Each structure stands twice: as structure tokens, then as C-alpha cells.
Amino acid sequence: EPEVTQTPSHQVTQMGQEVILRCVPISNHLYFYWYRQILGQKVEFLVSFYNNEISEKSEIFDDQFSVERPDGSNFTLKIRSTKLEDSAMYFCASTGATLEQFFGPGTRLTVL
Amino acid sequence: AQSVTQLDSQVPVFEEAPVELRCNYSSSVSVYLFWYVQYPNQGLQLLLKYLSGSTLVKGINGFEAEFNKSQTSFHLRKPSVHISDTAEYFCAVRTGGSYIPTFGRGTSLIVHP
């Protein structure tokens, strides 16, 4: 069964450093998303991406964040200068014709 | 904006007992409703969804949920839980005009032997 994959599973970084979280959505899906989940809190929408551009973003997704689909398979989330409060679980998701979202296993980002 | 309320942050229950996890949402003209499960150290997995039709929806692992429009609820139920059902459960709501679901805060289901 096709699935969304994410790498790395755990990323530890120093405050102020740039990080890139990688996702490989399901191959025939067209909509891609990033969510985050701060420990003990709810899943929060960050951004959606369609047709090589951002279709929707939340207020969390400020200038420190960017997304890219550098090739036909990867979908990345970049945080330019990480802050302590960026520590969270980041989930990628993709959607196909059924509009059901399929989530990846997540990347745990720890900012020290 | 749509909001989702999961009233219970934690639900402890004994194995083989029935369980209900509650979810209420703010009303809208048309909504699509989802329950996701998150096992420890894993991503979100879709348990079931309501898009249209029968208000009683059956999902994986013996779970079911009932859409109640008048009470704006979508409670999740299972008649007999297993230890393996211990996980975090998230209710999510999407309105007809958006592809972005709004998630509740989650309910931690803890099944004791």
C-alpha cells in the first residue's frame, strides 16, 4: 500500500540553525500539506501546496518557513532560523482524488 | 472559523469495556468529519470518515461513529476495547469549501488490563 514517508525521523538542531524536513508524498497525489504538533497539544495546520505553489497557509507559517517541491517526488519544509518554540512533531500529508489525507510518520524536531 | 472540541483529554478504561470518545464541532452548512488515531511514535492514521449518507459510520479496528447534525457531534465508539487500542485519538472537521481539516486537541485513550 502506498504511503507518505518522512526523513529524518528525529532532527536535533541548535537555535538559529536552518533545518530542512523532507517528505515523499504518495506518487499520484496532487495536494501536499505540513502540520505540526507541539508536545501535548493539538495538530496544527501550517501550509498546503498545490500546482507548485502555496494554496493556503496559517498564521504560524511566517517568513521563517518555506516549502518547496524540488523534484517530482520530494516535498520539503525549511525553517530558516530555528527557535526553541519550533520544537515539535512535523507531519507531512498528501491528498489524492478521494480528498482523504494520508499522513507520514512525522519528524520530531528538537531545538536546543 | 471552524472549531472542534474534544471534551475529554484522557479516557481510562479497562480492557473489553465499551468506550465513547466525544467530539463536537461548530456548526456549518456542510461538514466532513474524520477520526484519526495516533499510536505512540507514529503518524496519524484515518480510522473513519463521514462524507455523506448514513450517519452511522464504521471504521477500522471495530470503531464506529455517529454523525448527529442537531447536536453537532461525531462521537467515536467501540463496544469492547483492547490493550492495543491505547493511543491518541483526534477528531477533525473539514467544511465543504476547504481541503484543510481543523483538528481537535485529541483524547488519550488508555486501556488497562
| CA atoms of A24 and A75, how far apart (whole Å) | 6
Convert the pLDDT of each residue in A19-33 to its tens digit.
999 999 998 898 999
Mean pLDDT within B52-59: 91
Domains of chain B: 4-112 (2.60.40.10)
What was the pLDDT predicted at A77?
Answer: 97
Burial A76-112 (b: 16+ CB within 10 A, else e): ebebeebeeebbbbbbbbbbbeeeebbbbbbbbbebe
User: Can you give the pLDDT at residue B12?
Assistant: 97
pLDDT value, residue A72 = 78
A4 has a chain B CB within 8 A of its CB:
yes
Task: Count CB-CB contacts under 10 A for residue B100.
Answer: 20
Q: Average pLDDT, stretch B11-16? A: 97
Whether residue B1 is predicted with pLDDT greater than 70 in this model: the reply is no
Q: How confident is the model at residue B112 (pLDDT cuts 50, 70, 90)?
A: very high
Residue keyed to cell 518557513: A65
Mean pLDDT of B76-83: 97
pLDDT at B27 over 70: no
Optimal mutation site among A39, A41, A43, A99, interface B, most CBs of chain B within 10 A? A43
Answer CATH for A5-96 from 3.30.70.890, 3.40.50.300, 2.60.40.10, 3.40.50.800:
2.60.40.10
CA-to-CA dists, residue A106 to A4, A9, A66, B25, B44, angstroms = 10, 7, 18, 26, 9
The low-confidence residues of chain A, meaning pLDDT below 70, are none
Residues A42, B46: C-beta atoms closer than 8 Å: no
Number of Cβ pairs closer than 8 Å across A and B?
A: 44
Report the Cα A77 to chain-centroid distance in Å: 5
Shortest Cα–Cα distance, B41 to chain A (Å) = 8
- How confident is the model at residue B44, as a pLDDT? 86
Chain B CA closest to residue A107:
B43
